[in-house]
Amino acid sequence: MSLLSIKNIDVHHGLLKAISDFSVEVDSGSMVAVIGANGAGKSTLMRAVAGVLPVTTGSIEIAGEDVTKLPAHARVHSGIALVPEGRRLFRSLSLEENLLTGAYRARPGPWNLDAVYDLFPWMPERRDQSSRLLSGGEQQAVAIGRALMSNPRVLLIDELSLGLAPIVVKQIYASLLEIVANGCAVLFVEQDVTQALAIADDALCLLEGRTVLAGTPAELNRHDVETAYFGTAAAAPGRQ
């Protein structure tokens, strides 16, 4: 049984169907990348899985438990944590206070302040610093740490590396490998397709809310990915 099982969901914004008939299975210890152009529906998907947006049809299960009708706070207790697009730290709080907000309604498990500080060793000496003073990459690490504080079984990350320096991206990807080694299932949105395909066990591409391509990175060739990403091969950059 998959840890995260999404079957045939639709998600609407008013009359707009932003996600159509979406399904995916993510196993414990594996990472699935969601790619797609701006407006493809990636954040809508992540927010629906986290329970921030309702689905209009279909089901979402965690380890066989149907969470489709649960509100977001109850899904945290079921083991879903979201690192939202734009990180959304509490700017008036310190680094450590931001991490502690993730422990509210936490499940029992291996993650606590010490474990997060082991994962990101630069954090302890800056624990009292205002989150306003953190760089984009540092904020992303805090946002991931905050999500881990709830001891998730399923970690959702929207825009993993957007706006981060390559060295920080490398560090954050290394931390993700540790996180999945602990048995988490990770579903992540990544603008950088090359990065996504380098680390993910499976990848899927959304176009106008539909899955137009899915497979292991080895199965997906560059031309097919470009076609799926932009809708037409002709629209891809670098093509005539």
SS3 57: strand
Query: Given the rule CB under 6 A, which of 36-44, 87-95, 116-124, 220-228 is the region that contacts ligand ATP?
Result: 36-44
Q: Residue 18, interface with ligand ATP (CB under 6 A)?
A: yes
Sheet (strand 57-62) strand order: 16-26, 4-13, 57-62, 65-66
Which of 43, 139, 211, 227: binder of Mg ion (CB under 5 A)?
A: 43
Per CB under 6 A, 38 contacts ligand ATP: yes
Q: Does 42 bind ligand ATP (CB under 6 A)?
A: yes
Closest to ligand ATP by CB, 42 or 153: 42
Phi/psi at 86 (nearest 5 deg)? 80, 5
CA dihedral 169, 221, 43, 66 (to 10 degrees): -110
Site for ligand ATP in 178-237 (CB under 6 A): none
**Residue choice 3, 36, 95, 157 for contact with ligand ATP (CB under 6 A):** 36
Q: Which stretch binds ligand ATP (CB under 6 A): 37-45, 56-64, 92-100, 116-124?
A: 37-45
Return the one option of ligand ATP, Mg ion, none that residue 10 interacts with (CB less than 5 to 8 A, by type): none
Say whether 124 sits in a helix, a strand or coil.
helix
Quickly count: other Cβ atoms within 10 Å of residue 172's Cβ: 18
Strand partners, 33: 188, 203
The residue type at 188: F
A 10 A CB-CB count for 122 gives 10
Residue of 22, 31, 33, 44 interacting with ligand ATP (CB under 6 A): 44
Residue 39, interface with ligand ATP (CB under 6 A)?
Answer: yes
Contacts to ligand ATP by CB under 6 A? 13, 16, 18, 36, 38-44, 85
